Structure formats: C-alpha cells, structure tokens
Amino acid sequence: MWHYVRNGQACGPVETAVLLTLFQNGSVNLDTLVWKQGMTDWVPARSVPEFAAATATPPGVTPPPIPLSAMPPRGQNPGAATDPDKYDIEQNKVFAILAYIGILFLIALLVAPNSRFARYHANQGIVLFLAAFLVGCGALVLLPIPLIHALIVPVWLFLPALVFAFVVMGIVHAASGEYKPLPWIGHYRLLN
C-alpha cells in the first residue's frame, strides 16, 4: 500500500496498481513523492524501480515537444520545482521560524528532527541564543569594573536591539524558504 503527495497533501493508502494508473493518466508524475511502510522517508517515484519502469516511454515512441507554457521562466532553475528539499521547506517552515524565538528552537528539534531545513534554522537559533546569553553574561560580569564600565554600558544597551534584528532576519529567511546564514554568527555549526 502506497502513500503519495498531491498538491502538498499526503494521499493514500492505495495499491500499486492504482498508483500506476495515476502515473499513466498523468494525475501524478515521476517527481511525485511516494512512501510505503518499511521506508524511512518519502522518495521521488522515479527512484522506485516498479514506477520508473511502468512509466517509461516504450522504445520507438517519441514524446511530443514540450509546450512553451511548461518551460520554466528564463533564469529559473528547471529542477527547482522538483527539488525534494522544497517539500521539506514547505512542511517545516513554521518550525524553522519558531527556532529564532528564544528557546523555541527546541520545538524544531523535537517536532522535525529529520528536516534539513528545520535543523539548519534551529542551529542558527541556538547559536543566536547562546551568543546573546554569553555576551550578556560577559557584559554583566565586567560591568562593575570602573575602567571597562564605560565600554560595557553601550554594549549592554545595544545588545537587545541587535538580537532583535537578528531574530527578524532569521525569521524572514526561514519564511522565505532560504538557507541564508545570519551575519557574524551564521557560520557556526552546532548541529549536523
């Protein structure tokens, strides 16, 4: 029994013969994500031999030319629409956004542990959280020292605004579906 994704929604379970009929009538294609019990993750149908073989063009048959309406716009990556990462991004965008709001990065790690997108943004959220905590604690420890006091007070006052700016940047990147690092701290990896 197979499950498949159509219009961003999981459908099924259906028998192999039903899914093959959907391939043949064009309701789904080889880029459709499929899954059945025993598999660890969703995979494109083209990677399942029984679907790839059943939907292959018979020898000697030439498919018609691709209509211009199906061609990607100039400058767009033609593989972008079938990128398996796109499904991950759409499914886990909310968790990636939450990862930048304080300790809520734990939600991304607990709810979507296998999502590359959520883990990327959870990593950035953790690094931001730790950096803000360490700089804040360091400033608090150094605040009583008279000579350093004049330098620490501006840092202490500026830190919340900087952290807020980074939170907003991270949320915008996550909401846009981008893997874009935060300035200064985005290159640190605490998660794989």
Contact in structure between 74 and 149 (CB atoms under 8 Å): no
Sole residue written with tokens 């990327």: 120
Is the pTM higher than 0.85? The answer reads no
Domain ranges of the chain: 1-58, 84-175
CA distance 74 to 90: 24
Instruction: Report the 10 Å Cβ neighbour count for 82.
Output: 15
CATH of domain 1-58: 3.30.1490.40
- Band of pLDDT at residue 148, cut at 50, 70 and 90: confident
Mean pLDDT over each residue of the chain, to the nearest integer: 80
Contact in structure between 107 and 98 (CB atoms under 8 Å): yes
Residue 1 Cα distances to 46, 54, 147, angstroms: 17, 17, 72
Q: 15-24, 72-81, 96-105: lowest mean pLDDT where? A: 72-81
